[in-house]
Structure 1
Amino acid sequence: MTFQLRLLVRCDTPGGFAPGSFEALLQTVVHIPGLDPTWTHTLIDAVVAEDGGSAEFTVHSAPNVALSLDASLRVVTSTPAAWVRAVDEAGTVLAESSYAAPLRETQEVEIAGQHYTVTATSYPGRNPETGACAGDIDWQVAVVAPRPRAVSQPVPVVAS
């Protein structure tokens, strides 16, 4: 589920917003007071009024969806499965299973209801020169870290 919304931002200083004031922010993730901080909000358009006293933002919002590592369902296809061992920074195994694809760095995952971000991946069972797996299972080890909670704070609007 995604949606777009329009926000009107007023400037206390008459003529405070110059044309193009927000061009550098287009297509970037923004945090706006009142919007759910657990969703990703992307500024897709900003139109400054002729008098420079206000601007209209168009924001695309989408929820962050995490892959659940402990409630996986694997559909058997001709695609080889990825065997993944998720560990924390200390090396403690948090989850092990097979998935349709390996995990990638910065991917968000869920383990036991908690959201994590993949910070590093490796294949320790592979020969570094040949890439061949020395064991029975070619485990991908994914280091995960708890995702920090978003803090919603007002963002000051500064006239340029």
Structure 2
Amino acid sequence: MRELRATLGWLHGEPPGLDRLGALEAAMRDAGLRVTVVREGPDRPVPAAVGHAAYRTVQEALSNVLRHAAPGTTAEVRVRRGAGLTITVTDGGGTATGAASAGGGGRGIEGMRARAEHLGGTLTAGPGEDGRFTVTARLPAESA
């Protein structure tokens, strides 16, 4: 399966992974969202499928913050590497209508959760104790 995935990645071009977070951060800043990216743990490579799931989770979560946030809102992305990979995206607390926590009618959170579970991971999303909306994906060190 790994060889097949590698071949398909080669045929279709490698999907974006953690190495593209800087470009995503810049794009979100250009769109008006102030983003901070914090990296923790050793800088070990992860399988392409895990890196892509992490990237897509950050992309969707930041898009949701941008979509539902009041002007000038911030967001923090935390990438924690250890036995696995934990991605946490937290809005700065400036949602305009609370639509992010209400689901907003889209399928973004469902898609992020399905992607994490496909790899044997988990995803939680909702307001934290401080009221800030947080998305947390815990992904395995190895792809499924």
TM normalised by structure 2 equals 0.33
Q: Which has the higher helix share?
A: 2
Higher fraction of strand: 1
